[in-house]
Amino acid sequence: MLHSLHASAGRLDIDLVVGHVDHGLRDAATEDSLFVQKIASALGLQAYVSAVDVSGLVEREHLSVEEAARVLRYRALIGIARDLGCTAIATAHTKDDSAETILMRLFRGSGGDGLRGILPNRTIAPGIALIRPLLSCSKDDVLDYCRNADLEYVDDETNSELRFMRNMIRTQIVPQLNSTVPGWQEGVIRSGKRIAEDSEFISRQVQPILDEVIIDSGYFRLDMNVLRTLEPTIASRVIRKGFFAVTKDREIPCELSSERVFALLNRLKRPGGFEIELGSGVTATAEHDVLSIHYVGSDSVPVVTEVESLSLSIPGMVSDHHEELALSITPRSDNYRADTLSLDKESFTATMDKDSLKYPITLRQARPGDRIKPLGMDGHKKISDLLIDRKVPRTLRPRILVLESDDRIAWVVGVEVSEDFKVDGNSTNSMLVEVNDSRFKQ
């Protein structure tokens, strides 16, 4: 590939650099790096070698060696491309590689996206494309080119190790297909292309539906009643969109199996709440006709840490130093009652009796044991119980803020104003309280 691109660089109007990743898995890894540098130098090109710690990632993330090597390889190549201002990364995958990939994913039970095979080009990072110039060529074509051009090449001895599924397919299954099913490779590739076309079409149909289904994109919360009306093909795409939306910033690429998607869709057919693990630390939780796709445990995202408490006089306005939280209290000429129960937005408003609000006024994170006097009640109730009564999903409860006035909770933001601070017929002045919370904006 490098030799061919170098020969065509002038015609294609491209500049080339060579990137090589040393995975540190083989005794010959250092020799391979030197070989790449020698080839690049012979062509008058600069070679950039990046060493990665595959074993470390395997241990940290419990990945297979093959998957960890792939993750780190592309991460290293993206880093080289960014440092040098490159707009594309070219890899030498062939038609054989694509056919093997389709077979491997078929055996694993992949859906339409997985059965597309290796794509000829895609965006791998902002401003950087991943291209496969040799994808229409077979491995034999590449070897013939090397022999005719008298090019040296190196064989990776790990390609014969049967502990890797791809190698088992390449060395055990493919030879059998070659001898018994002439033209199988072209047939598999054609099927992959047709599946890719169908997959693209279905994806285009999903986007308008997402606008109808998503309640809160920051948490990827879905209306289960709408989700249940969708065809399984569309519903599964919506679930996948949610999964990849909440995993897009992970250190490693995450995978969602078709089995888990269909297990979730089957559970949706029955009433009641539930919780299903989707893998990679992601869980789908169903409560009160809302399905939330989110991280759990130590990987919970969004992570809610103790927010910076905001205090102000009346009237006044203040924001935190990250400008993620803002609180304002301003006079209101009428006694308009603002909506209070709405957690699917960033801005929250409530109207309160001015005479009841006492300094200091503080906006802070809700804490265990916090209590409020709900509207229409004489006694107090724990906020945790109030959130259950108001059917606030568990995935949203950690983000709840409270407005505290003189050590009494006046407002559970987005949920309810205290009976002691409400505007009623006896109120002579009212204050409009506004909170802007962009901590979880995507």
| Tokens of residue 163, six digits | 């502990």
347 close to 423: Cβ distance less than 8 angstroms: no
Reply yes or no on domain 217-299 having CATH 3.40.50.300: no
What type of residue sits at position 202? I
Residue 392: predicted pLDDT: 80
DSSP string, 57-113: HHHHH---HHHHHHHHHHHHHHHHHHHHT-SEEE----HHHHHHHHHHHHHTT--TT
- Report how far residue 433's alpha carbon sits from residue 315's, in angstroms, rounded to the nearest whole number: 10
Residue 299: predicted pLDDT: 37
282 close to 292: Cβ distance less than 8 angstroms: no
3-state SS, residue 69: helix
Residue 250 CB coordination number (10 Å) = 16
- Please check the confidence at residue 2 and state whether its pLDDT lies above 90: yes
Phi/psi at 282 (5° precision): -110, 140
Name which of 3, 31, 18 is nearest 157 in CA terms.
Answer: 31
| Tokens of residue 97, six digits | 């590689």
* Angle, helix 184-213 to helix 232-247, in steps of 10 degrees: 80
122 close to 129: Cβ distance less than 8 angstroms: yes
- Please check the confidence at residue 407 and state whether its pLDDT lies above 50: yes
419 close to 375: Cβ distance less than 8 angstroms: yes
Residue with tokens 């190549």: 77
What type of residue sits at position 163? R
- Report how far residue 379's alpha carbon sits from residue 377's, in angstroms, rounded to the nearest whole number: 6
Please calculate the CA angle 43-15-34 and round it to the nearest 5 degrees: 40
Q: What is the mean pLDDT of residues 262-267?
A: 90
Domain with CATH 3.50.40.10 in the chain: 310-437
Lowest mean pLDDT among 9-13, 341-345, 400-404: 341-345
The distance in angstroms from the start CA to the end CA of the chain is 40
Domain with CATH 3.30.465.60 in the chain: 217-299
In CATH terms, the fold of domain 310-437 is Phenylalanyl-tRNA Synthetase; Chain B, domain 3 (3.50.40)
Residue 312: predicted pLDDT: 61
Q: What is the mean pLDDT of residues 34-61?
A: 90
pLDDT tens digits along 177-227? 999 999 999 999 999 899 888 888 888 888 888 877 776 655 688 888 889
Residue 114 CB coordination number (10 Å) = 20
What is the overall mean pLDDT for the chain? Answer: 83
pLDDT tens digits along 305-356? 445 566 666 666 766 555 677 888 888 755 454 444 455 566 788 889 888 9
pLDDT band at 441 (very low <50, low <70, confident <90, very high): low
Residue 50: predicted pLDDT: 93
Which of the 8 DSSP states describes residue 393? -
Residue 129 CB coordination number (10 Å) = 15
Largest CA distance in the chain: 95
Domain with CATH 3.40.50.620 in the chain: 2-186
19 close to 77: Cβ distance less than 8 angstroms: yes
Beta strands 274-279; 325-332: pairing state:
unpaired
Strand partners, 350: 433
pLDDT tens digits along 71-111? 889 989 999 999 999 999 999 999 999 999 999 988 887 77
- Please check the confidence at residue 438 and state whether its pLDDT lies above 80: no
Q: Which CATH class is domain 2-186?
A: alpha beta
